[in-house]
Copies of this chain bind each other. A is one copy, B any other.
Amino acid sequence: MPLDLAEQSSREQLQTTFISCRKTSLALATRFPVEDWMLQSMPDASPIKWHLAHTSWFYEAFVLEKFKPDYTPFDPSFNFLFNSYYEQIGERHPRPARGMLSRPTAEQVVDYRAHIDRAVSALILDLPEAQFADLADLVQLGCVHEEQHQELLLTDIQHGLFQNPMRPAAFDRESLSGERGAETSETEVARSWRHFDGGLTEVGHKGAGFAFDNEGPHHKIYLAPFYLASHLSTIGDYADFIADGGYSTPTLWLSDGWARVQSENWCAPLYWRREEPGDNWTGFSLFGEAPLEKEAPVWGLSYYEAAAFAEWTGYRLPTEFEWEYASQCAPLTGQFLRGAGFSLPRAGEDVSSRDSGTIPADVHRRYTGLCGMFGSVWQWTASPYVAYPGFRTAAGAVGEYNGKFMSSQMVLRGGSSATPNGHIRRTYRNFFPPHARWQFAGLRLARDV
């Protein structure tokens, strides 16, 4: 019965995806000693151990409780400890105190993960057909959720290790430039402005593939013509901004940004240190502290810094819609942990197959030349993170995933080399508060016509 075969195949495929994603998280975490798993260096960051447990709890709360009526939680206290922000699910351990959870131990969390792996796998393989489509949707959400935490795990532990005056390296230094640098093939393209016509156009997710609720509804907008920079702004560009007094010129900054510069004594990106004597910069990353390479894309910027830099250049940041519109001219290229010495399930995956194929040939011809749009560094846009017209949150706790954060945050686009490939998408909207500095976030300039 071919139907069964197909079904079996789709169940097996889902289980493979699920297990692969789960393994990736653990593979990332086990690169770090257990002591690192405890670190919470600020309220916005979470310990590795918490990421591992929370991404497991997500399946318990949204999948197992729903599809397995007799499900007994692995540990009844975990619903309190590892709920992140789902008010409808109940009270939660306070976020800034996640680092206080020495128990459960790392070993217990690994056991928890194995338990969840088994329980969800069994469900995937055994659930009656009538419910499978619903299950598949939620498992898929669980996977993309876990992938988001994979990137956060890396940004958070990077921030945690940075608190240590010994500046420990998490990974071998073998390939720092490869990790964060622009793609070799792209650097050969000359830096220039790409012209886009704009006009009445459409943005937002449409169609069959997975997308978060905040990527839709697909809707019409009007765009004036604009130029977009062919390349990401570089560490060298940003060093020039600093050398020109960028951090001591209030007129370049948004008022809130300038207040931060002063109250927190910003004088360079968070992870930069000036080597004395001279004017050379060293940067901290998971590879430890190393001289910065001028040609590599700048990252580790807040929106305030990206906007002040743009002001200094005389240009500006693109809106998220300019970026999305222009992105049709760039191939989707996932670069998850490229150069980090990992052999992870989906590292280096070609995600271009996910492309919708709707790029008109002439558009493609005219605009070839946008470099580093995807999978290099997140690109701050000039767009506050708000709902698209017609957006409504989903019913139930899952509706809290994105919508309630639509306040005082800015949209980033494109993905970084720490972004799992499943998140490389033209319509994907990442968002962070304008002062957040610990992400792999840089920028690309735009200008009016």
Tell whether, in the assembled complex, residue B404 and residue A253 are in contact, meaning their CB atoms are under 8 Å apart: yes
Cβ proximity bits A196-232 to B, threshold 8 Å, 1 near / 0 not: 0000100000000000000000011110100000000
A185 within 8 A of B: no
A293 within 8 A of B: no
Give the complex CA separation of A406 and B255 in angstroms. 8
Give the complex CA separation of A88 and B383 in angstroms. 27
- Chain B residue at minimal CB-CB distance from A410: B407
A158-172 interface (Cβ within 8 A of B): 160-161, 163-166, 168
Tell whether, in the assembled complex, residue B407 and residue A164 are in contact, meaning their CB atoms are under 8 Å apart: no
**Min CB–CB distance A83 → chain B (angstroms):** 12
Tell whether, in the assembled complex, residue A448 and residue B389 are in contact, meaning their CB atoms are under 8 Å apart: yes
Residues of B within 8 A of A166 (CB): 77, 81, 103
A100 within 8 A of B: yes
Cβ proximity bits A368-386 to B, threshold 8 Å, 1 near / 0 not: 0000000000000011101
Knowing A33-B105, A41-B100, A100-B160 are in contact, say whether A255-B407 is a contact too (CB < 8 A): yes
Most buried by B among A99, A168, A255, A256: A255
Cβ proximity bits A45-71 to B, threshold 8 Å, 1 near / 0 not: 000010000000000000000000000
Interface size class of A (residues with CB under 8 A): 35 or more
Q: How many copies of the shown chain assemble into the complex?
A: 4
Residues of B within 8 A of A176 (CB): none
A436 within 8 A of B: no
Tell whether, in the assembled complex, residue B93 and residue A165 are in contact, meaning their CB atoms are under 8 Å apart: yes
Residues of B within 8 A of A164 (CB): 100-103
A323 within 8 A of B: no
Residue from B41, B257, B304, B390 in contact with A224 in the complex, judged by beta carbons closer than 8 Å = B390
Cβ proximity bits A391-419 to B, threshold 8 Å, 1 near / 0 not: 00000000110001111100000000000
Residues of B within 8 A of A304 (CB): 407
A126 within 8 A of B: no
Tell whether, in the assembled complex, residue A408 and residue B256 are in contact, meaning their CB atoms are under 8 Å apart: yes
A434 within 8 A of B: yes
**Min CB–CB distance A298 → chain B (angstroms):** 20
Tell whether, in the assembled complex, residue B160 and residue A102 are in contact, meaning their CB atoms are under 8 Å apart: yes
**Min CB–CB distance A102 → chain B (angstroms):** 4
**Min CB–CB distance A283 → chain B (angstroms):** 19
Residue from B101, B102, B165, B221 in contact with A222 in the complex, judged by beta carbons closer than 8 Å = B221
A251 within 8 A of B: yes
A400-449 interface (Cβ within 8 A of B): 400, 404-408, 434, 448
| Interface residues of A, dominant DSSP | mixed
A39 within 8 A of B: yes
Knowing A102-B33, A163-B100, A221-B222 are in contact, say whether A88-B39 is a contact too (CB < 8 A): no
Most buried by B among A35, A37, A81, A253: A35
Tell whether, in the assembled complex, residue A161 and residue B253 are in contact, meaning their CB atoms are under 8 Å apart: no
**Min CB–CB distance A157 → chain B (angstroms):** 9
A119 within 8 A of B: no
**Min CB–CB distance A104 → chain B (angstroms):** 8
Residues of B within 8 A of A163 (CB): 97, 100
| A-B pairs, 9 with minimum CB distance | A384-B384, A87-B250, A100-B163, A38-B38, A35-B102, A408-B408, A255-B404, A254-B407, A36-B102
- Known contacts A36-B102, A103-B168; can you find 14 more A-B pairs with CB under 8 A? A34-B35, A35-B102, A39-B102, A87-B258, A100-B160, A103-B164, A219-B224, A221-B222, A251-B399, A253-B404, A256-B408, A257-B407, A384-B386, A407-B434
| Residues of chain A having any CB pair with chain B under 8 Å | 33-39, 41, 49, 77, 80-81, 85, 87-88, 93, 97, 99-103, 105-106, 160-161, 163-166, 168, 200, 219-222, 224, 250-251, 253-258, 303-304, 307, 382-384, 386-387, 389-390, 399-400, 404-408, 434, 448
Can you list 30 A-B pairs, Cβ within 8 angstroms, ordered by A?
A33-B105, A35-B105, A35-B106, A36-B102, A36-B103, A80-B165, A85-B255, A87-B251, A101-B164, A102-B164, A102-B168, A103-B161, A200-B222, A219-B224, A220-B222, A221-B222, A222-B222, A251-B399, A251-B404, A254-B405, A254-B407, A255-B407, A256-B408, A257-B407, A303-B407, A307-B407, A382-B386, A382-B387, A389-B448, A407-B434
